[in-house]
Copies of this chain bind each other. A is one copy, B any other.
Amino acid sequence: MRVDQAVNIEDLHRMAKRRLPKVAFDFIEGGLEDERRLDRNTAAFHKHHLLPRYLVDVSKRDQSATIFGQNFSSPFGISPTGSAGLFRRGADMMLAEAAREANIPYIMSGASNDTIEDAARVAPKNAWYQLYAARDGKISDDLIKRTADAGLSTLVLTVDVPVHSKRERNTRNGFANIRGNWLQAALSLKPSLLAEAMTHPGWVIEYIRHGGTPALGNWLPYLANGASAEETVKFNRSMVPAHAQTWHDLERYRRLFPRNLVVKGIMDPRDAVRAADIGCDGVIVSCVSGRSSAFSAGRPSTARWRADCPG
């Protein structure tokens, strides 16, 4: 099946699964621990049904929405997707371009391969940046400053990964985290993975041709000149997640970032209220729950769109 023959998202899912070696696709598809929550997420969405009203003129249909005072063509956007460049070389900028064309928000992942500055260049009005705070506060502050300097309208702080999660598929595949020079490591550890990967030559050849795992572009400035891709990943792993990050840090980010500040991953309504009191502009409820607890305390506009899963 070719991309233009795909009838729905599930078709694209199957095509991606066919192209990628299991060791790579498991990283995208796998959930935490017993993966029970994946089905629960899907079920949560299916609980909601639309109740249509008829006999209304729908010859022109418009699903545009105003988010933070800006008009977008849809109330949905592209959620942050970590390591996308590993699965498709240049994926971050492809997403940015697609969001620009569709006029929807694109949240660049804090684990992107391309940079904040790239995103601002390709999709100046649509790119937002997802901050995974670093243990070294100076790096967090610099990432915020770069987001502001690049002119991005919105900074999204992810708070729901305060410790590394347990992804059992990754552990079984022989590596704890897919970034770094993981493929070689995984394949050398498990001959069965190597054999399986050889049945997906398209991706493997492209991967090797491009010199293996790409660097985390946003993190290069914080290493010595000439750092390898593997070193950026290693350094990132030593800095993220910022276990000790608290509400006081959020207050500092609020002072540092002059435009829209969104908190992603909040689950408890009390935390949403507290974020509003600090002056945040919105929250994004991640797919660990199907409930929306977006708020608009004292603000004219609200981010109500839901984020997709991995991020």
The answer to whether A271 touches B36, judged by C-beta atoms less than 8 angstroms apart, is: no
- Mark A229-265 against chain B: 1 for CB-CB distance below 8 A, else 0: 0000000000000011111011000000000000001
Q: How far is the CA of A163 from the CA of B59 in the complex (A)?
A: 8
Chain A at the B interface: mostly helix, strand, loop or mixed? loop
Q: How far is the CA of A184 from the CA of B56 in the complex (A)?
A: 37
Selected from B10, B59, B168, B265, the residue in CB contact (under 8 A) with A54 is: B265
- Inter-chain contacts of A299 with B (CB < 8 A): none
- Inter-chain contacts of A270 with B (CB < 8 A): 53
Q: How many whole Å from A231's CB to the nearest CB in chain B?
A: 24
The answer to whether A55 touches B249, judged by C-beta atoms less than 8 angstroms apart, is: yes
Q: How far is the CA of A6 from the CA of B59 in the complex (A)?
A: 45
Copy number in the complex reads 4
Q: How far is the CA of A162 from the CA of B56 in the complex (A)?
A: 9
- Give the residue name and chain of the B residue nearest to A57 (CB): B244
Selected from B33, B244, B245, B268, the residue in CB contact (under 8 A) with A53 is: B268
Interface residues of A, CB < 8 Å — how many? 37
The answer to whether A59 touches B160, judged by C-beta atoms less than 8 angstroms apart, is: no
Does residue A66 face the partner (Cβ distance < 8 Å to B)? no
Q: How many whole Å from A163's CB to the nearest CB in chain B?
A: 6
Does residue A224 face the partner (Cβ distance < 8 Å to B)? no
- Inter-chain contacts of A265 with B (CB < 8 A): 54
Binding site for B on A (CB under 8 A): 7-8, 10, 33-34, 36, 46, 51-59, 61, 159-160, 162-163, 168, 171-172, 243-247, 249-250, 265-268, 270-271
Please name 5 further chain A to chain B contacts, defined as beta carbons within 8 Å, in addition to the given A53-B271, A59-B244, sorted by A numbering.
Answer: A7-B168, A7-B172, A10-B34, A56-B162, A57-B245
